[in-house]
A = this chain, B = another copy of it.
Amino acid sequence: MALRIIGVIGSSEASQDLMVLAEKVGEELARQGAAVVCGGMNGVMEAACKGARRLGGLTIGIIPSNDKEDANPYVQVPIVTGMGVGRNVMLVKTADVLIAIGGEFGTLSEIAHALDLGKIVVGLGTWKLEKARPSPIPNLIEANSPKEAVEIALKAISTQR
């Protein structure tokens, strides 16, 4: 049977604060028995995988290049796409729900794809999208801590479509 798989998205170059958040998110997901899927590279992605691996969680990296050696060292299952940022949408489709930590335009593309596909995104210091258009965005939920983010995310799996 398929595992619960939570997407963790964010920049490959992130501040120390965001990296700490990501690592705690990874730890908490592993503690709850959920797998992490991410883009497989550095920054937030690596921190989340590192946290998950510390507690024995499964880590999946959907990597942009053609070489599995490009994955960060905490990825156990590198999915090699060779599609560059074209892999972002696949990460979104593979995740049951997503946690966005900070993030630049690449992360924004993933949030947009997720909302487009009806998925829930839990944010930790990420894009305030509701300010960018008139109507509210109920599927983008800001959390106050890594623990709360994981809590909301896991609860969302059972309720969303």
Q: Which residues of A contact B (CB under 8 A)?
A: 1-3, 5, 35, 58, 60, 62, 66, 68, 71, 73, 75-86, 88-90, 93-94, 104-106, 108-109, 111-113, 115-117, 127-129, 131-133
Contact = CB atoms under 8 A, between A and B. Distances in A.
Contacts of A71: 2
20 contacts: A5-B78, A60-B79, A66-B84, A78-B94, A80-B90, A81-B93, A82-B89, A83-B83, A85-B113, A85-B116, A88-B89, A89-B89, A105-B113, A105-B115, A108-B115, A108-B129, A109-B109, A127-B133, A129-B132, A131-B131
B66 A3 contact: no
Nearest to A109: B112
Contact of A3 (B76, B88, B127, B129): B76
A32 to B, nearest CB: 17
Given A105-B112, A112-B106, A5 B77 contact: yes
Contact of A106 (B85, B116, B129): B116
A85 B117 contact: yes
B105 A109 contact: no
Nearest to A67: B93
A2 B85 contact: no
B1 A73 contact: yes
B104 A109 contact: no
B109 A77 contact: no
Contacts of A109: 89, 109, 112-113, 116
